[in-house]
Amino acid sequence: MKIFLVHLLLFLSVFNFTLIAQEEDEEKPKTFFGGINVGAFFANGNTAIIYTGGNAITPYGINYILTQPHNKITFDNYFKHPYWVAELPPNPVYKTAFDIGFHGGFHINKASAIYIDINITQLKYEQTFSIAIDDPSNQSPEPTYEQIPIFGKEKRFNVNLGTQLSYYTTEKTDLYWAVFGNLNVVNMERNYFVINNTEYEIYHNTPDQLNVKPGGLGYGGGTGLGLKYQLTDNIVLDFTYNLYYTKINFTEAIQPYGMHHGLLMRILWN
């Protein structure tokens, strides 16, 4: 079903390209436009599990780092009592991300346009995992727990190719619907945790390939709604909401489909 929906969105994009290309409007000739996208990107948490540091994700995660001989003395001195990982981050999610990029295209007629978006998004993961410490001084059979911050940094490139179809227009405003196909590239930049103000890097490849980070090419499609407001003869403000349904290709084991959301403001020059 998921693959069918992606293919349907891609088909609609191609269909609209073909349909619009056949239209002519004598009142308004083809005109190019371009500008910048600035906004917020709300990624789902389907791939955020890669930053949790668990053994099922990478053999070089939290437990591996805690038990390495060159680290163990440092951790023993810090915790002072027997300790172990009690809980990984229970609900992996990303923070809301800043989205910036380029938007350009051309009008086929007064009611339709073809466009391309090229956006860069820096995603951040900031959560905690629990270390249990068997401290006899707490006078309880239960251990003491310390929350350890864990972080992830990820870069995504989204390229959307689609059409905009106006359905309500006044002298200065234009309400439109968009449909687009999507290609995306995702790259992990960092994954680490912090104990006693020291950063410990979590690796996701073999030790002889530390510079090779998880990531890859994904695809999908989406739809959106927008409002354009004509500030001057040449400058347009464009407020847009986009709903994505895409595949994110991180590793062979982490390639989920899912919904994402985006809110953008565009400043365009005609």
Report the CATH number at residue 261.
Answer: 2.40.160.20
How many structural domains compose the chain?
1
pLDDT digits (tens, 9 = 90+) for 20-56: 444 444 455 458 999 999 999 999 999 999 999 999 8
- Tokens 């990531």 sit at which residue? 215
For tokens 């998921």, name the residue. Answer: 2
DSSP code of residue 143: P
Domain limits for position 82: 2-269
Other beta carbons less than 10 A from residue 238's beta carbon: 20
Q: Decide the pairing of beta strands 144-169 and 112-133.
A: antiparallel
How far apart, in Å, are the Cα atoms of 191 and each of 128, 138, 157, 204, 260?
13, 33, 19, 9, 22
pLDDT digits (tens, 9 = 90+) for 186-240: 999 999 999 999 999 999 876 566 567 899 999 999 999 999 999 998 999 999 9
> 87: which 2 tokens?
């809980």
The pTM of this model reads: 0.84
| Contact between residue 203 and residue 62 where contact means Cβ atoms under 8 Å apart | no
What is the DSSP annotation of 57-70? Answer: T-TBSHHHHHH-HH
Residue 255 near residue 219, CB atoms below 8 Å: no
pLDDT in tens, 78-101: 999 999 999 999 889 999 999 999
Using CA atoms, how far residue 150 sits from 25, 65, 87, 92, 224, in Å, is 56, 13, 12, 11, 34
| Residue 262: partners with Cβ closer than 8 Å, 6 or more residues away | 39, 40, 41, 42, 99, 119, 240, 241, 242, 244
Q: What is the DSSP string of 84-134?
A: EEEE--SS--PPPEEEEEEEEEEEEETTEEEEEEEEEEEEEEEEEEEEEE-
